[in-house]
Structure 1
């Protein structure tokens, strides 16, 4: 069963378990597939990986400036991808400056896209409760600077002829 957050049983309840590393790998795939849908592509870097007693969270931080005028389109691309992937949309925040969308995969992973200051987008995937294990950092290379050892990451600093239109 899932953690206290009410996640669905892993693997459709078929009794197969997953450890924290496998959950982190699955979160990487969810995040990668979501970012791959965005055209034109945006530059991103790894955010922090966190894990507690039974769950794992991975984050991707978009370093491309997404202007307020383009955030709806950005969210729409991700919303369509998640729905087409069988994810259940749990909530949508339609705030113009800080919109967000929250979904859940069929195997109980929570996934979100939220906007913060200066048009910075954050993708996050959280596992349901899984078996305890060590968790390595993601091996997926970012498509821009790695910012290794930098925390917090800088604000978005990459301009896009499409996504940054109208941004200061």
Structure 2
């Protein structure tokens, strides 16, 4: 599989998943990472694992985390994905599609507000010359000093309270 095919499928899978979340949430994508798989003696193979993350910028109250997991789990089951695990204690879940794509939802953060991240990956992608062949993803917000603001999140009247 070409890296561009993986990227297109990643976006379609993530778009479909996030469409199930209502009210909708804000998010940003990281770039597609294409990392060569290695042999037992640490030599690069001619295939790679491609990965992409979509970070949800909407904060979740602890009371709404279960609702988020439920919405996403229902969508993934509707699509026929195989549930690999669901962990309500360290909120996360992973599924595999019939084409071998792995989707993971992880929720973390402090006691007051939680943040979520979706990861998708697939194996057997052709190795590319660059680790991030399509760039690093959406621009990161900046703070007042013009530095990257990795903690730029939004409150939502439903999800955050």
TM-score, normalisation: structure 1? 0.75
Alignment partners' CA distance in 1, 2:73 and 2:31:
23
Shift of 1:156: 5.4
Aligned partner of 2:155 in structure 1 is 159
Q: CA RMSD in A?
A: 2.4
Q: 1:94 to 1:58 in 2, by over 3 A?
A: same
* Contact 2:141–2:150, Cα closer than 8 Å, also in 1: no
Residue by residue, what CA displacement relative to the aligned partner does 1:67-118 show, whole Å, maximum 9, x if unpaired?
Answer: 11001111111101111111100001111xx400111011001100001214
Aligned partner of 1:52 in structure 2 is 35
TM-score, normalisation: structure 2? 0.78
Alignment partners' CA distance in 1, 2:30 and 2:142:
11
> What SS class does the counterpart of residue 116 from structure 1 fall into?
strand
Aligned partner of 1:3 in structure 2 is none
Aligned partner of 2:95 in structure 1 is 103
1:126 paired to 2:121: yes
Residue by residue, what CA displacement relative to the aligned partner does 1:17-76 show, whole Å, maximum 9, x if unpaired?
Answer: x21221121111111111111100001011343211111111110111111100111111
Aligned partner of 1:79 in structure 2 is 73
- Consecutive aligned runs of 4 or more in structure 1 exceeding 4 Å deviation: 148-153
1:23 paired to 2:3: no
* Contact 2:31–2:136, Cα closer than 8 Å, also in 1: no
Aligned partner of 1:42 in structure 2 is 25
1:62 paired to 2:56: yes
* Contact 2:141–2:148, Cα closer than 8 Å, also in 1: no
> What SS class does the counterpart of residue 75 from structure 1 fall into?
helix
* Unmatched 5+ stretches in structure 1: 1-17
Alignment partners' CA distance in 2, 1:22 and 1:149:
31
More strand by share: 2
Aligned length: 141
Name which one, 1 or 2, has greater alpha-carbon Rg. Answer: 2
